[in-house]
Structure 1
Amino acid sequence: MSKKLLTLALAILSISFAFAQKVTVPEPEFSDQTYLLTSNTEYVKLPRETGVVKTKAGASVYLTGIGKIKTRISLPGTTSSVAAKQGEDVRLIIKAANNATDPNSFISIFKFEVKGKERRAQLAEAGTFSGSKSNSLGQIEFQAKKYGESSYLIVLEGLQPGEYGISLGDPDKLNEKNSMKITTFSIK
């Protein structure tokens, strides 16, 4: 039991340390823009790519009427143009319309599967006997704090090498165009 408490205490200290560092970069200019912090004073703007939603049924659905149908979002290319180093906390500044809403309610950070010449993530699945699941991006937990007038400082710990995406909802209104836009980065 004491080992679990020590681990929890160390996790809280590391998160507190990540937020305690004095970050002095400006807020992104526009809502939905994201900066990857490379130091407390430097950043790189992350690319925002347009995804394509694809739905595919397994062969068994066509043959027997039993099986699963999966819906995925796909991005062309196998890697993002911006990468962070493995072993370091990933710190992001994400500008929203305002920072009054809990960012966990509209910011989704997830890992892509690289398949062929594209990156993809599952959005939904429906099965004959298993029912349906939606919004199953496999979200990654993050810590957030208000930053500036309308941004958030997001800290991600322990990310493994791979391709990652950030889906930003709008806490104030539904924006259909936003659902196809994914901000991307890699961990190398």
Structure 2
Amino acid sequence: MRKTLLIGAISLFSLNAYSQNIVEPEFIGECMLLKSDQSTTLLEKHMTQTRSAMNAGMVLTGFGSVKAKLQIEGCCSATKISSGDDIQFIVRAVDNNTDPMAIIKVFEFDSNKKFRRAEMASINTFGTTKTNKLHYLAFTGKKYGQSSYLITLRDKPAG
């Protein structure tokens, strides 16, 4: 009996020694940056504003377009990534049984000194509406841990 318990304890210890230490975000919807040294950083969250604006032609002559944009205050993120590093994120979901391409969207913002913006839709005087104008970035997704995804960006935009 002692030998069986000893063998069982050694087996459990060896399994724990070789097991992967999986770090997942604490809450659903949170996102962590996976650094090249395998450490992680929780990404900050921002409240977005929806902004719509007419171009000068629309104001002066009645011809032009109106654009709807997402806006985030501040020029840039506090999290910095080296240009040579792969960009990988760990995103927590309810579970990881769904195709990540169906539930996760990564898109680019245009930035200036005061804010970041991404155009969602536009409509012109003649009634032409263009929706889903966000510039999506290509990525691959794999299951990670119990209920997260490992997202690897294929595109590496500057900024």
Distance 1:85 1:56 in 2: 35
Aligned residue runs from structure 1 range 4-83, under 5 A: 24-39=21-36, 41-83=38-80
Per the alignment, residue 16 of structure 1 pairs with none
Distance 2:116 2:148 in 1: 27
Aligned residues: 141
Could you give the per-residue CA deviations for residues 125-169 of structure 1, whole angstroms, max 9, x where no partner exists? 11224711222211001000011121100001341321xxxxxxx
Distance 2:85 2:33 in 1: 12
Q: Determine if contact 1:112/1:121 at 8 Å carries over to the other structure.
A: yes
Could you give the per-residue CA deviations for residues 87-120 of structure 1, whole angstroms, max 9, x where no partner exists? 2210110001122222212211112111241111
Aligned residue runs from structure 1 range 67-146, under 5 A: 67-129=64-126, 131-146=128-143
Q: Secondary structure at the match of 1:105?
A: helix
Distance 1:133 1:142 in 2: 24
Task: Output the amino acid matched with 2:24.
Answer: E
Task: Output the amino acid matched with 1:36.
Answer: L
Q: CA deviation at 1:61?
A: 1.6
Distance 1:120 1:107 in 2: 19
Q: Determine if contact 2:139/2:155 at 8 Å carries over to the other structure.
A: no
Q: Determine if contact 2:138/2:155 at 8 Å carries over to the other structure.
A: no
Give the TM-score normalised by structure 1: 0.69
Distance 1:23 1:62 in 2: 60
Q: Tell me, which stretches of 5 or more residues in structure 1 are unaligned?
A: 1-21, 163-188
Task: Output the amino acid matched with 2:51.
Answer: K
Q: Determine if contact 1:52/1:73 at 8 Å carries over to the other structure.
A: yes
Task: Output the amino acid matched with 2:154.
Answer: E
Identity of aligned residues (%): 35
Q: Tell me, which stretches of 5 or more residues in structure 2 are unaligned?
A: 1-18
Structure 1 residue ranges, 4+ long, deviating more than 6 angstroms after superposition: none
Could you give the per-residue CA deviations for residues 49-107 of structure 1, whole angstroms, max 9, x where no partner exists? 11111000112223332211111111111110111111221011000112222221221
Give the TM-score normalised by structure 2: 0.81
Q: Determine if contact 2:50/2:71 at 8 Å carries over to the other structure.
A: yes
The verdict on how the C-alpha distance between 1:154 and 1:34 changes in structure 2, with shifts beyond 3 A counting, is: same
Question: Which is bigger in relative contact order (C-alpha 8 A, separation at least 6)?
Answer: 1
